[in-house]
Amino acid sequence: MVGPGICKDKETRLVERCLKLVGECTRSVPSSDSMSTSVLSKLEDSSLTIRPRRLNDDVLWVLDSNNYPGSQLKLFPGSLRLAKESNDRRSSFIETAAVRHLVGSVTKTQGLRFAVVVARFNEIITKPLLEGALATFKNYSVREEDVDVVWVPGSFEIGVVATRLGKSGKYHAVVCIGAVIRGDTTHYDAVANSSASGVLSAGLNSGVPCIFGVLTCDDMEQALNRAGGKSGNKGAEAALTAIEMASLFVHHLK
């Protein structure tokens, strides 16, 4: 039965409809996250009570049954779920259900602007990485005029330029593209580490997502495989990450 003072709104009618369709609740529940047809049948016993609990913008209906101790049936708008809980942990499910999950979208790209910083060194690698990034922006409806490409001598110089671009306020994310290939000296380690820390610092100091798209490979074959070869195109992946992060910042983390 529905408690007094509960309006016959859309959610209430949904609950009543569900009560007519589902079956009797038995004591065997396969798991806390699933509900099979064998678990439910009628739910029409007098011991069943319904009470609303508001979570964010939705109403969570909690159905308690004295004949089914330690468990509750929770009905969200548009869905039905049975959760088996111990009495001493009953509140933990409610807290989990109330958690908001903020996720960036790769489809809401209107109005987003991006910068791409590209190293000229190892251009045979960085050029196809850039092409992959630009193709991804186009495929996800980012306008060409909303993407600026900035070339720098090498991967070591990416960080300082990314910082300036991020602080300019013109861009929602900065993609950083380069390629560092191991040689006979320790120069590789210095450049690889500096480029990674430079991109990280750029994002932290500017408050704008700066995406690390710098390849650090042992040889040219590894780099080619990641610049459109059998391992995909890491430039395209970096652009997709930039779209998601830009959306997350614009729509959820202002």
Residue among 133, 148, 126, 86 nearest 242 (CA): 133
Q: Could you write out the DSSP letters of every residue in 208-229?
A: S-EEEEEEEESSHHHHHHTEEE
Q: How many CA atoms lie within 13 A of 71 on its CB side?
A: 19
- Terminal CA-CA length for the chain: 44
Give dist(CA 34, CA 219) in Å, integer: 49
Catalytic residue (choose from 172, 187, 251, 252): 187
Q: Which residues contact 195 (CB under 8 A, 6 or more apart)?
A: 155, 156, 158, 159, 176, 178, 180, 214
For residue 181, what are the β-bridge partners? Answer: 217
Taking the C-alpha atoms of residue 70 and residue 65, their distance in angstroms, rounded to an integer, is 9
Contacts of 56 (CB under 8 A, 6+ apart): 98, 100
- Does the active-site annotation cover 187? yes
Q: CA triplet 27, 60, 244: central angle to 5 degrees?
A: 115
Catalytic machinery residues: 187
